[in-house]
Amino acid sequence: MNQNDSINQVTYAKQFKTGIGTLGYERSFSVSQEEIQSKENNYQKVQEKEIICFEDSRITKLIMEGHKLIENFRLQLILVITALWFLEIDDEIFIEKQGSDLILWLTFSLNLILILFTFLSYLTLMNYWKSTLLIPKDQSFFHSDQMKPFLIETGFLLIFPTVFTRDIHLTFTLKNNEYYYTVNEIIIMISTLRSFQILFIYLRLCKFYNSQTQRLSLNYGIMMNPKFLFKYLIHSQPTYLIISMFTITFWYCTIAMWIAEKALQRENLQTVQLFKHCFLEVILSLLAYAYEDYVPITNLGRIILSYAAYAGFVMASIIISAIIQAFEQEYGEYQACVLLDKLIMKENMYQVTSNIGEQFYYIMKFDKNPFTYNRVKIIQAELKEFQMLKRQYKSIISENVTNLFKRRSRESNDILDEYQDIMKMCKYQNKQIQEMLEELISLQNYHYHNWYD
């Protein structure tokens, strides 16, 4: 054997060993030395790499707490931006142009920071799903399910007033007089839809929204979405939820109503009195589901108060459902009522059997009694009643918690159907009121033109 044959044998041995080590199926002995060395290096890297095949609860909990911290900061930013917009619109506080410019540039920078933290919030939530091993770790954020809600929320956040749109006016005619809205005022009215963002953030900040409950709910195929969190807060903390919804709704509706009616009183600098008036009207609309005695002059004001009335109806429905749940029987109370019904039924059955025995006693004692036929009829009637009581007793015993839940669900659906009918009637009445107002306005304009003609 010469030296070349020994070198070839060593090369063949290395190639065969490499094929075994990498679990390959190719047994080609014509591979070069560089490819063999690269395969060996890859095999060593795979062996040295640590592969985690289970969820680390400490990491997921840390990421979830970071997500909630970012959401808390976003909530504070939205509230600060809303307060600065209120100061910018109020002419009594900032009449000078320099103060208004400062507020607008400050809100501009805060909105950019808010958009940045919105991206960080969704990115942190995606990292949480990666840590739970529900999505691949190499999945990009821009190709994930978090991209669509992020774009929607960012679209709402991009609507904010600027210095460049402050002097642009949108005029409209009302009662032969010209009025105007600035573009910034229209933008701030549209931005009042951020109240929904505040509500969603409030749902994510509840104690129930954490890593542990998220993991447990996934075992039952339930996601921790806002719908599920809203249902949980209705059942567990209805008071805090209703107070939060009421506060958010009347605050943002008051600002929008104030901007809508402020266009008619540009010359009057007492805008605080107008704000107080709009504040009271919005509260009355929330509580009474109607305009009451005050009808807004502008169409935007009517739309805002109609939305406030609808929101008041929704909150009243939540209050009613919370009251029904508070007075709903618990399991122990239900069992006590069942035992009481069983006891009453047993007493009635005992009374019926006593009456039957008494009639049999008289029949057996007096063979030729003329009232025997009537006594037989009484016994037959008592036996029918006894059979009916017996069936009722069995139904009481067989009724369990599942049947009770189904029965209560049907009753709740009937109540919701009644509320829907009431809502349709309210919409029809509002439509009739709107038509009457339009007729009155047309008659007023007709008499006005005839008087001056």
Joined tokens for residue 143: 């190709």
Q: What's the confidence (pLDDT) of residue 117?
A: 94
Q: How many CB atoms lie within 10 A of CB 106?
A: 14
Do residues 246 and 283 lie in contact, with contact meaning Cβ atoms separated by under 8 Å? Answer: no
- Burial class for 49, CB neighbours closer than 10 Å (0-12, 13-18, 19+): exposed
Joined tokens for residue 314: 């929704």
Task: Give the Cα separation of 342 and 344 in Å (integer).
Answer: 6
All structural domains of the chain with their residue ranges:
3-48, 331-399
Q: What's the confidence (pLDDT) of residue 400?
A: 56
Q: What's the confidence (pLDDT) of residue 401?
A: 53
Q: What's the confidence (pLDDT) of residue 73?
A: 94
Side chain identity at 381, as an amino acid letter? A
Own/partner contacts of 442-445, CB < 8 Å, gap of 24 or more, are 445/175
Q: What's the confidence (pLDDT) of residue 91?
A: 55
Phi and psi, residue 312, nearest 5°: -65, -40
Task: Give the Cα separation of 396 and 339 in Å (integer).
Answer: 9
Task: Give the Cα separation of 198 and 178 in Å (integer).
Answer: 36
Q: What's the confidence (pLDDT) of residue 48?
A: 47
SS (H, E, C) the chain: CCHHHHHHHHHHHHHHHHHHHCCCCCCCCCCCHHHHHHHHHHHHHHHHCCCCCCCCHHHHHHHHHHHHHHHHHHHHHHHHHHHHHHHHHCCCCCCCHHHHHHHHHHHHHHHHHHHHHHHHHHHHHHHHHHHCCCCCCCCCHHHCCCHHHHHHHHHHHCCCCCCCCCCCEEEEEECCEEEEEEHHHHHHHHHCCHHHHHHHHHHHCCCCCCHHHHHHHHCCCCCCCHHHHHHHHHHHCHHHHHHHHHHHHHHHHHHHHHHHHHHHHCCCCCHHHHHHHHHHHHHHHHHHCCCCCCCCCCHHHHHHHHHHHHHHHHHHHHHHHHHHHHCCCCHHHHHHHHHHHHHHHHHHHHHHHHHHHHHHHHHHHCCCCCCHHHHHHHHHHHHHHHHHHHHHHHHHHHCCHHHHHHHHHHHHHHHHHHHHHHHHHHHHHHHHHHHHHHHHHHHHHHHHHHHHC
Ordered per-residue pLDDT tens for the chain, 453 residues? 444 454 444 444 444 444 444 444 344 444 455 555 565 555 455 444 444 555 677 888 888 899 999 999 999 999 999 888 878 776 544 455 666 778 888 989 999 999 999 999 999 988 888 888 778 888 888 888 888 889 989 988 888 888 888 778 777 777 777 777 888 888 888 888 888 888 889 888 888 888 888 877 777 777 788 888 888 888 778 778 888 888 888 888 888 888 887 777 766 656 667 777 777 777 777 776 655 556 677 778 778 888 888 888 888 787 777 777 666 655 555 566 666 666 677 777 777 777 777 767 666 666 656 666 676 677 777 777 777 777 766 666 655 555 666 666 777 777 777 777 777 777 777 787 788 878 777 777 766 566 555
Q: What's the confidence (pLDDT) of residue 268?
A: 60
Q: What's the confidence (pLDDT) of residue 112?
A: 93
Going by C-alpha positions, the residue among 198, 195, 189, 182 that lies closest to residue 100 is 182
Q: What's the confidence (pLDDT) of residue 242?
A: 83
Helix-helix angle 3-21:33-48, to 10 degrees? 30
Joined tokens for residue 95: 């009449």
